[in-house]
Structure 1
């Protein structure tokens, strides 16, 4: 179960790291740039709505394009959107801040979280699936989600500033994309409903 567990943990890095980067670090970053708290809360809420509405759409797309493709698009999108996200939040424009969260969560995070359960499940044989998915899920959250806002805060105050934050996001996305390619996932066979 070693390689599938490592693969599953790495798959979680981009998805879990990005959502914590936006919702926790993004809020603090907006505060640093004197964006009113009510704008940040509205943007975060609308971003969550966009995320929730987009997930089923990306799940449907995964049926046609494949879960790996959808996840890869989300991870690459998050790495590329980090700079624009920070710029939009720092712009001081209410519409810019809202756009940052809607695009970041609805078009970058949603594709990853929509297909991640299927990707994780396919890594493990039935006898170890529940344990494997649970451990990979939580290990990824521990390594990316829990510490991402702290790491981003340290990086934004470093001499490299926003570039370092975006480099960190790109590294998380790169590790997840590497995990996506590391091992072919088994196809899950779901029982068909009886008519």
Structure 2
């Protein structure tokens, strides 16, 4: 097995952005992804707290809860569509334009959910419209992450890509923290009790409109990725980037998706609303106060933020793979203690469990953007990272709350949920062991020949034949 080296005579396209530009990119990336994921997470929180009663009430408590969690997952099925569309446009017309478009789409869909009538008002049309708007959120989320990741990583110097790659990742715990915090404010202070179900739940969705305006202004102030600028100047855009990606890099897509699946399954135990719904169910074994649990989720989001940022530094020091393996080992260790702590019925033990769990989530999320960017060739990179991320979300988090609820209903114990999580973490670990890890490798189109030959599973004769076909093309 051999890995071809860059041709010495070819210039390496590396980023030379000024510090001011780096800070602007960091701020714009974090702000934009925070808004996007705030929109995504308020739906997940509302699914466990609100929609069971307001949109799916005729189905009964248990079935309604399952349907509500299914509406969380259905948007993931449309993430690949968003990834395909955004990947094609991002590799053809640029990263920045796609980011602005996805932010607007997410904001409009979220605001419309806040204005949506309930089942009691318009009947079955209410859940149908809710699912439609959730699908639009999924399309937006599918295209958002890849562009944000590349804007951050492609602007960064090689030795700081791991840290720069945490910028879009930090938007996730920040969005979760903001979503849980706003819901806690509404349930505990502004609209406690019945007022929350009457109208208070709408406020977090309507607030999205203001946040989107702010995020849109910030994102438009950032320059296009220097890697894409070079691609455009050299007219090296691929006419059909998605087709080329799947022809030559489909094994890489699959393994990269599995790398993310483990993390996403774990993340959606908290962000997908399962633990919130489980621990606040008055008929369940825990029965904690809704506002207290939301504050616990908020605290764990802060831990997730710190762990994600630390993972960026760590991945620059020891590599992406080792950071991921440490994170997955931590998650495997916490899979069973998490629910043991939740089941104590003590809010402080629940907060401790979620916070310890969040450390592993951060370690397996922080280095993802930089590792993904270093895996794919420049002129199909947007498509590659977006589609891998979207498929990983489907395999991991799409129906994790639904699966967890079904396992709980079937077995009556959270041990089944912990076992399910352990399996997902082992899958992520296996993917990390298979993927190549080359921090600092060239990202520019100037090294296209070397990048085109860089892939996973290179020991396969069938794949080596495919590589040779690619060179001839």
Structure having the higher Rg: 2
1:15 pairs with one of 263, 268, 274: 263
1:27 pairs with one of 267, 276, 281: 276
**Counterpart for residue 432 of structure 2:** 180
Give yes or no for contact 1:39–1:97 (8 Å, CA) kept in 2: no
Give yes or no for contact 1:29–1:89 (8 Å, CA) kept in 2: no
**Counterpart for residue 415 of structure 2:** 163
Give the root-mean-square deviation of aligned CA atoms: 1.7
Deviations 1:111-154 (A, max 9, x none): 11101112222221222211000001111112211200000111
Give yes or no for contact 1:35–1:90 (8 Å, CA) kept in 2: no
Give the match's secondary structure for 1:48.
helix
Deviations 1:56-80 (A, max 9, x none): 2121122222211111121222122
Moved runs in structure 1, 4+ residues, more than 4 A?
A: none
Please show how residues 134-145 of structure 1 align to structure 2 within 5 Å: 134-145=386-397
**Counterpart for residue 82 of structure 1:** 335
Say which structure, 1 or 2, has more relative contact order (CA 8 Å, 6+ apart): 1
Shift of 1:190: 6.1
1:51 pairs with one of 304, 310, 321: 304
| Residues paired across the two proteins, number | 190
**Counterpart for residue 126 of structure 1:** 378
**Counterpart for residue 37 of structure 1:** 290
The two structures have a TM-score, normalised by structure 1, of: 0.90
**Counterpart for residue 361 of structure 2:** 109
Give yes or no for contact 2:256–2:435 (8 Å, CA) kept in 1: no
Relative to its length, the structure with more helix (as a share) is 1
**Structure 2 regions of 5+ residues with no counterpart?**
1-248, 444-473
**Structure 1 regions of 5+ residues with no counterpart?**
none
Shift of 1:160: 7.0
